[in-house]
Amino acid sequence: MTRTIALIFFAAAPSFALAAGGSDSNPPKPTSTTTQCKDGQVYDEELEACVMIEDSSMNMEDAYNAVRELAYAGRYNDAQMVLATMDQADDRTQTYWGFTHRKMGNMDLAMAAYYGALATNPDNILVRSYMGQAYVEMGALNLAQAQLTEIKARGGRETWAERSLALAIQSGTSATY
Protein backbone atom coordinates (compact mmCIF):
# COMPACT_ATOMS: atom_id res chain seq x y z
CA MET A 1 0.00 0.00 0.00
CA THR A 2 2.73 2.49 0.94
CA ARG A 3 4.63 1.59 -2.21
CA THR A 4 1.49 2.19 -4.30
CA ILE A 5 1.01 5.62 -2.74
CA ALA A 6 4.66 6.46 -3.38
CA LEU A 7 4.41 5.37 -7.01
CA ILE A 8 1.28 7.46 -7.56
CA PHE A 9 2.93 10.43 -5.89
CA PHE A 10 6.09 10.26 -7.98
CA ALA A 11 4.11 9.76 -11.18
CA ALA A 12 1.96 12.77 -10.41
CA ALA A 13 4.54 14.96 -8.64
CA PRO A 14 5.50 17.04 -11.69
CA SER A 15 1.90 18.13 -12.02
CA PHE A 16 1.19 18.86 -8.35
CA ALA A 17 2.17 22.46 -8.84
CA LEU A 18 -1.16 23.24 -10.50
CA ALA A 19 -2.55 26.12 -8.56
CA ALA A 20 -6.17 26.85 -8.27
CA GLY A 21 -7.92 27.16 -11.58
CA GLY A 22 -4.86 27.13 -13.78
CA SER A 23 -4.47 24.79 -16.71
CA ASP A 24 -0.67 24.85 -16.51
CA SER A 25 0.72 22.13 -14.26
CA ASN A 26 4.04 23.92 -13.74
CA PRO A 27 4.57 26.32 -10.84
CA PRO A 28 3.94 29.90 -11.90
CA LYS A 29 7.14 31.79 -12.57
CA PRO A 30 7.58 34.48 -9.95
CA THR A 31 7.01 37.92 -11.36
CA SER A 32 7.37 41.36 -9.86
CA THR A 33 3.96 40.79 -8.25
CA THR A 34 5.49 38.35 -5.77
CA THR A 35 9.15 39.40 -5.86
CA GLN A 36 8.77 43.17 -5.51
CA CYS A 37 5.22 44.14 -4.59
CA LYS A 38 4.07 44.39 -1.00
CA ASP A 39 0.83 43.06 0.46
CA GLY A 40 -2.19 44.45 -1.35
CA GLN A 41 -0.21 45.23 -4.49
CA VAL A 42 0.34 43.73 -7.93
CA TYR A 43 2.74 44.69 -10.67
CA ASP A 44 1.08 46.79 -13.36
CA GLU A 45 2.80 46.24 -16.72
CA GLU A 46 1.41 49.48 -18.18
CA LEU A 47 2.73 51.61 -15.33
CA GLU A 48 5.82 49.45 -14.78
CA ALA A 49 5.28 49.70 -11.03
CA CYS A 50 3.63 48.02 -8.09
CA VAL A 51 0.16 49.42 -7.51
CA MET A 52 -2.68 48.71 -5.16
CA ILE A 53 -4.72 45.83 -6.54
CA GLU A 54 -7.85 47.94 -7.00
CA ASP A 55 -5.84 50.48 -9.04
CA SER A 56 -4.37 47.93 -11.44
CA SER A 57 -5.13 47.97 -15.16
CA MET A 58 -4.84 44.16 -15.45
CA ASN A 59 -7.04 42.40 -17.96
CA MET A 60 -8.95 39.29 -16.88
CA GLU A 61 -6.26 36.78 -17.94
CA ASP A 62 -3.53 38.79 -16.17
CA ALA A 63 -5.75 38.89 -13.08
CA TYR A 64 -6.14 35.09 -13.16
CA ASN A 65 -2.38 34.71 -13.52
CA ALA A 66 -1.83 37.07 -10.58
CA VAL A 67 -4.28 35.10 -8.42
CA ARG A 68 -2.51 31.86 -9.34
CA GLU A 69 0.91 33.30 -8.57
CA LEU A 70 -0.21 34.86 -5.29
CA ALA A 71 -1.95 31.65 -4.19
CA TYR A 72 1.12 29.58 -5.04
CA ALA A 73 3.19 31.99 -2.92
CA GLY A 74 0.78 31.50 0.00
CA ARG A 75 -0.50 35.09 -0.24
CA TYR A 76 -4.14 34.10 -0.04
CA ASN A 77 -5.42 37.47 1.22
CA ASP A 78 -3.79 39.22 -1.73
CA ALA A 79 -5.18 36.60 -4.10
CA GLN A 80 -8.64 37.28 -2.67
CA MET A 81 -8.17 41.02 -3.15
CA VAL A 82 -7.57 40.37 -6.85
CA LEU A 83 -10.54 37.99 -6.96
CA ALA A 84 -12.78 40.73 -5.58
CA THR A 85 -12.10 42.77 -8.74
CA MET A 86 -13.04 39.92 -11.10
CA ASP A 87 -16.23 38.52 -12.64
CA GLN A 88 -17.89 36.80 -9.68
CA ALA A 89 -20.18 34.72 -11.91
CA ASP A 90 -17.24 33.03 -13.66
CA ASP A 91 -16.66 29.44 -12.50
CA ARG A 92 -12.89 29.94 -12.59
CA THR A 93 -13.19 32.89 -10.21
CA GLN A 94 -15.44 30.83 -7.94
CA THR A 95 -12.90 27.98 -8.04
CA TYR A 96 -10.15 30.37 -6.92
CA TRP A 97 -12.38 31.68 -4.11
CA GLY A 98 -12.95 28.12 -2.92
CA PHE A 99 -9.28 27.24 -3.11
CA THR A 100 -8.09 30.31 -1.20
CA HIS A 101 -10.78 29.94 1.46
CA ARG A 102 -9.89 26.26 1.91
CA LYS A 103 -6.20 27.07 2.27
CA MET A 104 -7.07 29.74 4.84
CA GLY A 105 -9.14 27.24 6.84
CA ASN A 106 -12.52 28.73 5.93
CA MET A 107 -14.10 25.44 4.89
CA ASP A 108 -17.73 26.64 4.85
CA LEU A 109 -16.85 29.52 2.51
CA ALA A 110 -14.71 27.21 0.40
CA MET A 111 -17.53 24.72 -0.05
CA ALA A 112 -20.01 27.49 -0.90
CA ALA A 113 -17.64 28.75 -3.60
CA TYR A 114 -17.07 25.23 -4.94
CA TYR A 115 -20.83 24.60 -5.14
CA GLY A 116 -21.24 27.96 -6.91
CA ALA A 117 -18.59 27.00 -9.46
CA LEU A 118 -20.30 23.67 -10.10
CA ALA A 119 -23.69 25.37 -10.48
CA THR A 120 -22.10 27.55 -13.16
CA ASN A 121 -20.13 24.75 -14.82
CA PRO A 122 -20.80 21.16 -13.69
CA ASP A 123 -17.98 19.93 -15.96
CA ASN A 124 -15.29 21.92 -14.12
CA ILE A 125 -13.11 18.99 -13.10
CA LEU A 126 -10.61 21.16 -11.27
CA VAL A 127 -13.23 22.44 -8.84
CA ARG A 128 -14.39 18.85 -8.38
CA SER A 129 -10.82 17.87 -7.46
CA TYR A 130 -10.47 20.73 -5.00
CA MET A 131 -13.89 20.01 -3.51
CA GLY A 132 -12.92 16.36 -3.17
CA GLN A 133 -9.70 17.35 -1.45
CA ALA A 134 -11.72 19.47 0.96
CA TYR A 135 -13.86 16.42 1.69
CA VAL A 136 -10.68 14.43 2.36
CA GLU A 137 -9.57 17.13 4.82
CA MET A 138 -12.99 16.87 6.52
CA GLY A 139 -12.77 13.06 6.67
CA ALA A 140 -15.70 12.56 4.25
CA LEU A 141 -13.97 10.08 1.97
CA ASN A 142 -17.25 8.85 0.47
CA LEU A 143 -18.00 12.37 -0.78
CA ALA A 144 -14.44 12.74 -2.06
CA GLN A 145 -14.83 9.45 -3.93
CA ALA A 146 -18.08 10.73 -5.47
CA GLN A 147 -16.18 13.73 -6.86
CA LEU A 148 -13.49 11.43 -8.25
CA THR A 149 -16.19 9.41 -10.00
CA GLU A 150 -17.62 12.63 -11.46
CA ILE A 151 -14.18 13.73 -12.68
CA LYS A 152 -13.76 10.46 -14.56
CA ALA A 153 -17.30 10.59 -15.95
CA ARG A 154 -16.77 14.15 -17.22
CA GLY A 155 -13.65 13.40 -19.25
CA GLY A 156 -11.06 13.96 -16.55
CA ARG A 157 -9.25 10.63 -16.71
CA GLU A 158 -5.45 10.88 -16.56
CA THR A 159 -5.54 14.57 -15.57
CA TRP A 160 -3.99 16.35 -12.63
CA ALA A 161 -7.51 16.72 -11.20
CA GLU A 162 -8.01 12.95 -11.15
CA ARG A 163 -4.49 12.02 -10.01
CA SER A 164 -4.32 14.52 -7.17
CA LEU A 165 -7.74 13.60 -5.79
CA ALA A 166 -7.06 9.87 -6.10
CA LEU A 167 -3.81 10.32 -4.18
CA ALA A 168 -5.54 12.46 -1.55
CA ILE A 169 -8.18 9.79 -1.02
CA GLN A 170 -5.58 7.05 -0.84
CA SER A 171 -3.19 8.92 1.45
CA GLY A 172 -5.71 10.91 3.49
CA THR A 173 -3.79 14.11 2.73
CA SER A 174 -4.77 16.71 0.17
CA ALA A 175 -2.37 18.07 -2.42
CA THR A 176 -0.72 21.41 -1.85
CA TYR A 177 -2.09 22.63 -5.18
Helical H runs in the chain? 2-12, 32-35, 60-72, 76-83, 91-103, 107-120, 125-138, 141-153, 160-171
pLDDT at 174: 80
pLDDT at 16: 35
**Overall CATH class of domain 1-27+87-177:** mainly alpha
Instruction: Give CA–CA dist 105/64, Å, rounded.
Output: 22
Q: Is the pLDDT of residue 23 over 80?
A: no
**Domain boundaries in the chain?**
1-27+87-177, 31-86
Query: Chain-wide mean pLDDT for the chain?
Result: 86
Nearest in space to 130 (alpha carbons), one of 83, 165, 167:
165
Confidence of residue 161 (pLDDT cuts 50, 70, 90): very high
**Percentage, residues of the chain above pLDDT 70:** 84
Q: Does the predicted TM-score (pTM) go above 0.75?
A: yes
SS3 123: coil
Mean pLDDT of 35-58: 92
